[in-house]
Structure 1
Amino acid sequence: MKASWWLTALLLTAGAPRQENAAPAPGAAVSEVPGRPDDEALAGGGTTVFDVSHNAYGRALGNLAPTRWYQMREGKVLFMRDWAAHEEGLAGPLTNAAGCGSCHFKDGRGRPLPDVGPEAPLLVRLSVPAKDAPAGRHEPVYGVQLNDRGTADVPAEGTVQVSYTDVKGMYADGTPYTLRQPRYRINQLGYGKLAPEVMLSPRIPSQLFGLGLLAAIPDEAIHALADADDRDGDGVSGRPNRVVSVHSGKAELGRFGWKANQPTLEQQVASAFSEDLGLTSPLYPESNCTAKQAGCMTRVAARGPALSRHVLERTTLYLRLIGVPARRDVLEPTVMKGQVLFQQAGCAACHQREFTTGTVEDVPELSNQRIRPYTDLLLHDMGPELADGRPDGEASGTEWRTPPLWGLGLLETVNRQVRMLHDGRARSFEEAILWHGGEGARARERFKALGKAEREALVAFLRSL
């Protein structure tokens, strides 16, 4: 398959290297408002890219050596491939999409709403409680994820219907607001009823830039921010998820996914290939069919993994090489005021501003970079407001990983839609804040107590990220 002209242009116009000021030791984390606001534009350190167009989420690392662009090109081609139309018929009969780019439009989250209707596309994770497994086990008929695409001879597993109830509230100054409380229902089940005790967790796709930098944050830097017992009494008690590595078979620090349920980017990619696209790989060699789905099992060829290790490695490398867009308007007075209010409201207790990456031998461009992702990669109890009731690894049914905030100000530009939080219920930054409960409740109440101009300043800061 040949790359299109725009892919070549994308790679040839990757951001130029930028020099950083002296960085702290690798892994150091900083939460205070910086003394050098001009540095704040460099969200990805020297890897930052300077693009505010609809391609802003898909640029190569700003400091990527030109001799390595071919690696990104090869990975991009694999990422954009339509696996359902592949001449060898590699994709499984039960899927959620034809290719990675189907869900991650322009390397972002979801597709433009005009393409798919009024809502962002959803995946639904499934499990059932089990006495011998605190995180539960796969739903016995439908497995770990509902696949809403089938083939002519293998019916899809079902469809997801979302309905909303308005939740009205009011800021301290009397300004009203309306949130949307989602309700989910699985229709058109293709293989009989779901287990009565099934646990559902709807998820929207996440944006993909900066994943190589997040992977390069030293484990100890993340553990240092954990405060499971809330020793400092600030109401925030983040803790790491511990999940099983497919490679080692041992529990490792989770850092990818809405509940930090994957320890490495490669495992995250292999899991998505398996569950979303029905593609087996050396990490996940088993089909996503279940024993109750005879037609699906019959269609699965008795051969080795559909994807070679090279394909898995190149796709993973592509994601590692996507740069983070620079911040905008960092010296604008309203944005600077909003950054101070973000701190004062307590948002930075979870949305940790800064880390320094460690040494990355195979991609030295990622090494020792001072980055500003606004996440601690830890789990936080967000209360009943956002609970899905479904454990994942060591994460409870009310816990979520703090999502990075970098690049969100360009979400509408790139994806032509704004859907936030794990299930896309929030249609704005304000709504996302107002849904915070549990450990985020104090920050939410402080936001609600602000006057209109202050709220707008805080949102202006978020839009600058």
Structure 2
Amino acid sequence: MIRSVLNRRYRGRNPWHRQLVLGLIALAAGVALSALLRSPAYGQTTRPQAGGDTTVYSRTSRAFEQPAPNLDAHWADRHAAGDLAFEAAFVTAPAPVNPGLGPLFNGTACAGCHIKNGRGLLEKGQRVLRVSQLQPNEPTVDDRPHGHTPYAQEADAPGGNAPAVPGIGTQLQELGVYGHDPEAMVQLTWAEQSGTYGDGTAYRLRSPQFTLLRPDGTPLPTSIVTSSRIPQPVFGAGLLEAVPEADIVGRADPGDRDRDGISGRPNRVWDVVEQRPVLGRFGWKANTPNLLQQSAAAYVNDMGVTNPLFPTADGQTDIDMDTLEAAEAYVQTIAVPARTLMDDPRVQRGERLFAAANCTACHVAELRTGPHKIPALVNQTIHPYTDLLLHDLGPALADGRPDFEASGSEWRTPPLWGVGLTQTVLPFAGYLHDGRARTLEEAILWHGGEAERAKETFRTMATDDRAALIRFLRSL
């Protein structure tokens, strides 16, 4: 129609002029259509965007390292500065650049544990071993009513109700600078067990076993409770920080009132800035309230680098607040990789099976962010597949170590966005809190407690249905 109108309007005029006008209109129409297809509104109505407007379309080994594409100039600069802080490797003092390592530590840089912003491995220099002292006559996790332990408010802050091990604290440091012995030597072995799917197919699971030795080779007391952790992915963390507290707490059902077998609840943890208990969001047991404190705790616990939130006894720090806030800004502004294969019938079938097994009761597909200091994170519809709540996953995954209001058998629901890229980013990376699961299938098969019914639904599925559900997870 446009062409016929132009032919009438420009009849008898220079044909090159008419072709030029037609070309410009076609170009404008193409630009407008391209803008529509790329606009957040179009994307949200036709394709669920994993990170809302922070989503990037990358399925490469660098997928977790991209800045959110909707950052303004100020926060793009802060992201770049934070990237440098995240990559910075610390050395022993005195030194002209990045002094302050140790004297005891596990790693030398944030990026040295969170490989390409993804997971780390259960290896020395990347893993974290949380420890606590089992008190005389203290009941084991199986003896506690629902595994719950009382929250010790200021007495044990910021470590919560996990009693520190004399001479070690609540986290083991496996390395020391020159002249300093590590707190312990760690021997790792693997225990294996076997099982079968409902169709008779065999599988094998493994779990890590640790022996702790003093530097002189003598064993540490058996009264020490050990919980091993691998570093978690850090992309999308700013969006999770921006989810309103009311929305998280509103999903809790500690008494299982709806009788669906799922009774998630929030953790309440110590905020070292506000000096009061607040909602926990981050860490395997939701034991950290925000990304500033998480960054500060990682500096001091993992690298021995003191900072404004965790200074020395006399108030000295190895880094200043600007460096700490730069590291915070970096993890707040990393993009989330988009899903793939959304038109694949097997992926669509797997997504339906995932929901039918009630996996989405904990791995909630869609959340909405609220106010945040970073405009790019505000009012985003996101698809992280988490409720940020604690759930009892049964004795097979229990570590027996409380963490504020989290019991030894409770874990925060980990986000599943990007899980399909885990081993693309880091080959041989494992799943679950200690990396024990070599595959997504193994990760599901370890679930128990509140997730027992969902696990059994998966275990007894037909072979093709199991494959479809795993294909869906790999598309995330």
Q: Which amino acid aligns with 1:125?
A: R
1:87 CA drift (Å): 2.8
- Taking the aligned partners of 1:458 and 1:396, their CA distance within structure 2 comes to 30
CA contact (8 A) 1:95 1:150 kept: yes
- Taking the aligned partners of 1:404 and 1:285, their CA distance within structure 2 comes to 32
- Taking the aligned partners of 1:266 and 1:17, their CA distance within structure 2 comes to 33
CA contact (8 A) 1:141 1:191 kept: no
1:67 CA drift (Å): 4.9
- Taking the aligned partners of 2:350 and 2:445, their CA distance within structure 1 comes to 17
Which has the larger displacement, 185-194 or 62-71? 185-194
Counterpart check, 1:201 vs 2:227: yes
Number of the residue aligned with 1:49:
56
2:96 to 50, 68, 87: 87
CA contact (8 A) 1:142 1:194 kept: no
**Per-residue CA shift, 1:98-132, capped at 9, x if unaligned?**
11111111111116x9xx6xx99421011114587
1:196 CA drift (Å): 4.0
> SS state of the match for residue 172, structure 2?
coil
Change (3 A) 1:229 1:121: same
- Taking the aligned partners of 1:172 and 1:193, their CA distance within structure 2 comes to 42
Number of the residue aligned with 2:411:
400
1:189 CA drift (Å): 3.4
Counterpart check, 1:39 vs 2:47: yes
Number of the residue aligned with 2:118:
108
Q: Which amino acid aligns with 2:236?
A: G
Counterpart check, 1:96 vs 2:106: yes
Number of the residue aligned with 2:196:
170
Number of the residue aligned with 2:132:
127
1:339 CA drift (Å): 0.3
CA contact (8 A) 2:190 2:206 kept: yes
Q: Which amino acid aligns with 1:458?
A: L
2:67 to 18, 41, 60: 60
CA contact (8 A) 1:338 1:459 kept: yes
1:268 CA drift (Å): 0.6
- Taking the aligned partners of 2:240 and 2:52, their CA distance within structure 1 comes to 12
Change (3 A) 1:175 1:211: same
CA contact (8 A) 1:203 1:422 kept: yes
Change (3 A) 1:460 1:423: same
TM-score normalized with structure 1 length: 0.85
- Taking the aligned partners of 1:206 and 1:17, their CA distance within structure 2 comes to 30
- Taking the aligned partners of 2:387 and 2:40, their CA distance within structure 1 comes to 25
- Taking the aligned partners of 1:187 and 1:324, their CA distance within structure 2 comes to 41
Number of the residue aligned with 1:70:
77
- Taking the aligned partners of 1:387 and 1:172, their CA distance within structure 2 comes to 25
1:191 CA drift (Å): 9.9
1:346-385 equivalences under 5 Å are 346-360=358-372, 362-385=373-396
Counterpart check, 1:454 vs 2:459: no
2:446 to 431, 435, 457: 435
1:17 CA drift (Å): 7.0
Task: Give ranges in structure 1 of 5+ residues lacking alignment.
Answer: 1-15, 24-35, 288-301
1:312-327 equivalences under 5 Å are 312-327=324-339
Count of aligned pairs: 416
> SS state of the match for residue 20, structure 1?
helix
Pairwise CA RMSD of aligned residues? 2.2
> SS state of the match for residue 167, structure 1?
strand
1:379 CA drift (Å): 0.3
Percent identical across equivalent pairs?
A: 44
- Taking the aligned partners of 2:102 and 2:218, their CA distance within structure 1 comes to 20
Counterpart check, 1:224 vs 2:250: yes
1:46 CA drift (Å): 0.9
Q: Which amino acid aligns with 2:183?
A: E
Change (3 A) 1:310 1:240: same
**Per-residue CA shift, 1:270-312, capped at 9, x if unaligned?**
000010000111111137xxxxxxxxxxxxxx66111101111
Change (3 A) 1:143 1:196: same
Task: Give ranges in structure 2 of 5+ residues lacking alignment.
Answer: 1-36, 139-151
**Per-residue CA shift, 1:183-211, capped at 9, x if unaligned?**
11123536976344211110000001000
**Per-residue CA shift, 1:328-348, capped at 9, x if unaligned?**
101110000000000011111
Number of the residue aligned with 2:28:
none
- Taking the aligned partners of 1:152 and 1:430, their CA distance within structure 2 comes to 43
Which has the larger displacement, 132-141 or 392-401? 132-141
1:160 CA drift (Å): 2.2
1:90 CA drift (Å): 1.4
> SS state of the match for residue 186, structure 1?
strand
> SS state of the match for residue 168, structure 1?
strand
- Taking the aligned partners of 2:74 and 2:315, their CA distance within structure 1 comes to 36
> SS state of the match for residue 383, structure 1?
coil
> SS state of the match for residue 162, structure 1?
strand
TM-score normalized with structure 2 length: 0.83
- Taking the aligned partners of 1:303 and 1:380, their CA distance within structure 2 comes to 38
Change (3 A) 1:273 1:438: same
Q: Which amino acid aligns with 2:369?
A: T
- Taking the aligned partners of 1:125 and 1:273, their CA distance within structure 2 comes to 15
1:65 CA drift (Å): 2.4
Change (3 A) 1:363 1:191: farther
1:462 CA drift (Å): 0.3
Q: Which amino acid aligns with 1:391?
A: P
Q: Which amino acid aligns with 1:139?
A: V
